[in-house]
Amino acid sequence: MVIGRLLAFVLPLGLDSFAVAAAIGATGTVTARLRWRIALLFLVFEAGMPLVGVAVGAPLAHAIGPAADYLAAAAVIGVGGWMLLGNDDREEHDAERLVSARGVVLIGLGISISLDELAIGFSLGLVRLPFIPVIVAIGVQAVLAAQLGIRIGRRIADRYRELAERAAGLALIGLGAYLIVEQALR
């Protein structure tokens, strides 16, 4: 059950990471060195932001008790909805800027591409999944999705990158609904 929940949280993030990385790959200006720099950026921010989210979510879960599961479900559904409705051109815009960004701009972009991981980390803290395996899984998916997305980004159409983003949003909404039903049946 724990592994299924872990995968249900991590796999949609992989689809989102893939969509951003594929948009970067579609720029056609990615060298091997830049590909690894971007993968490292994904690793740092996409594994780091959930740490911040868990740091906030776990104490809140302890404080509010059983309502934490419903709050976690609402947060996951909110992130899924945001992925479905609010990101039409985000990947392309972030991709163009990530290829040439340096310093503070790079940090800002790293934060912007990992806001969904912050919300997921918050939810993870609320549903009390094991901390270390979650962060390791998010880090691994970030590097793999970045490498794969950048490598094949030029070969896939924009609609497939958008489809990955939409699939991630739908998966998170489904996860949130599952969390609500699971809590209601207890």
Q: Are 123 and 76 in contact (CB under 8 A)?
A: yes
Task: Please tell me what DSSP assigns to residue 140.
Answer: H
Model pLDDT for residues 92-131, shown as the tens digit of each residue: 666 666 666 677 777 777 777 777 788 777 777 667 677 7
Using only the alpha carbons of the chain, give its radius of gyration: 16
Q: Among 102, 124, 95, 88, which residue's Cα sits nearest to residue 18? A: 95
Task: Please tell me what DSSP assigns to residue 57.
Answer: H
pLDDT for 144 equals: 92
Q: How far apart are CA 17 and CA 14, in angstroms?
A: 5
Backbone angles phi, psi at 185, to 5 degrees: -85, -5
Model pLDDT for residues 156-181, shown as the tens digit of each residue: 877 777 788 888 889 889 888 988 88
Q: With a threshold of 0.85, does the pTM exceed it?
A: no
pLDDT for 59 equals: 84
